[in-house]
Structure 1
């Protein structure tokens, strides 16, 4: 369960300490730290952070266990709903902050930005980032290579997400790199497919937006690249239109 708490925003030690407080009955910091497998010194540091976040409370109790002016300090776990409140607060903050950060990023000048993303996770990141582009997509796809990396399940998720967002895709593919999966022209999937002339075989997959281009290699080279440049994207879009004009509509 501590892994889920980490995914929700706690660091691993905070998650283990919070679970220890939940499992014990009003433990001291030392008792909770021992249950979590930490030293007492680390326990006090973690308890302080959880107190600040409102995930635990500390009470002074006397020998009978009842509140007293002096005695030992015990911890009580707060309602886990505090995490939901944190998430709502963080989202509200980011909703206002992200547009400002994007505006700052967009005013950095016309200098292009290039990012190299390695491996299967990098290719998946590049693929789904294209869904953030507020424009129709042009694509030159190698189905054979996409089925290998990032794989059929990821591509199905991507298509579902693209359809949900209402983002249309015009795509050119090489017949030599086709597979049994299909991905035909489809009104439901808002996808228009053409096949490149036989002499043109594409193993790189390319997605072209208005201001950026995403490139994904085959498993052999195993990389993705994101190029954010209006001029480069326009050039690639023009080259795509030339290829589109000489390609054959899917039957």
Structure 2
């Protein structure tokens, strides 16, 4: 496959390809020169070069009274693809949610291993409902093992940056050390479940999804996307929340 076909795979084809190839060959040149090198009518070149500029591949600038094309280093193509990939990764949970709701069927995603647990954990920060409230039941001794305190601290930082408030219930007898208290600075309210209620698995409820994070022994993350199931889990959470003991802020 030649360069033209390869660039066409990422949307640079036809006139766009001809003008981009001419631009990087010339480096800096008047629009008329770039159009002539590309074999494109000058009037057609203006619109196409404008699109290339929007993509960050060239810059259009007036020099000595002439409108010139300045080609950027081709490595910008990698940044362009990577930027789109990151954007799609961010959008994918919402797009999948819309798709799954249209199907009317619950979706179950199973993620195995430590990386799977991280994938499931960070998915909880894709919450889109307003206000952004994440409901969580945290099994502290297990979270300190997997994914570990360092990763949990990064997760908390990411949650705060996204302005997501966390209502969290924990079992006081499973808290191995005083950490993650109620605090407005970290957007968190902690309550302790009744002593006879042992909460042994980390669970998050957000949008129409419920995320489960296992112990290191079973080593998996599980996301169930179902409006009915999420509603049931929310009702159960709120029932336990009302029974749980408030804690003072840090």
Alignment TM class, shorter chain as reference:
0.5 to 0.7
Equivalence for 1:161: 158
Q: Structure 1 127/249 Cα, relative in aligned 2: closer, same or farther at 3 Å?
A: same
What SS class does the counterpart of residue 103 from structure 2 fall into? Answer: coil
Q: Pairwise mapping of residues 44-123 of structure 1 onto structure 2 (< 5 A)?
A: 52=6, 81-88=73-80, 91=83, 102=96, 105-106=99-100, 108-123=102-117
The worse-fitting range, judged by mean Cα deviation, of 227-236 and 128-137 is 128-137
Distance 1:159 1:95 in 2: 22
Partners of 2:171 and 2:195 within 8 A in 1: yes
TM-score calculated relative to the size of structure 1:
0.64
- Residue segments in structure 1 that go unaligned for 5+ positions in a row: 1-44, 55-78
Is 1:178 aligned to residue 170 of structure 2? no
What SS class does the counterpart of residue 206 from structure 1 fall into? Answer: strand
Partners of 1:203 and 1:217 within 8 A in 2: no
Deviation at 1:147, TM superposition (A): 0.6
TM-score calculated relative to the size of structure 2:
0.64
Which aligned runs of 4 or more in structure 1 are off by greater than 2 angstroms? 48-54, 83-104
Q: C-alpha root-mean-square deviation of aligned residues, in Å?
A: 3.3
What SS class does the counterpart of residue 138 from structure 1 fall into? Answer: strand
Deviation at 1:102, TM superposition (A): 4.7
Deviation at 1:82, TM superposition (A): 1.8
Distance 1:200 1:243 in 2: 9
Which residue, 133, 138, 146 being the options, matches 1:141?
Answer: 138
Which residue, 203, 225, 243 being the options, matches 1:246?
Answer: 243
- Residue segments in structure 2 that go unaligned for 5+ positions in a row: 8-16, 18-70
Equivalence for 2:231: 234
Distance 1:220 1:93 in 2: 33
What SS class does the counterpart of residue 200 from structure 1 fall into? Answer: coil
Q: Size of the alignment, in residue pairs?
A: 183
Cα-to-partner distance string for 1:83-126 (whole Å, 9 max, x where unaligned): 32343266469869958955862454210000111111111100
Partners of 2:203 and 2:211 within 8 A in 1: yes
Partners of 2:209 and 2:225 within 8 A in 1: yes
Distance 2:153 2:231 in 1: 28
Partners of 1:194 and 1:244 within 8 A in 2: yes
Equivalence for 1:130: 124
Distance 2:98 2:171 in 1: 40
The worse-fitting range, judged by mean Cα deviation, of 200-209 and 105-114 is 105-114
Distance 2:142 2:88 in 1: 40
Q: Structure 1 104/185 Cα, relative in aligned 2: closer, same or farther at 3 Å?
A: closer
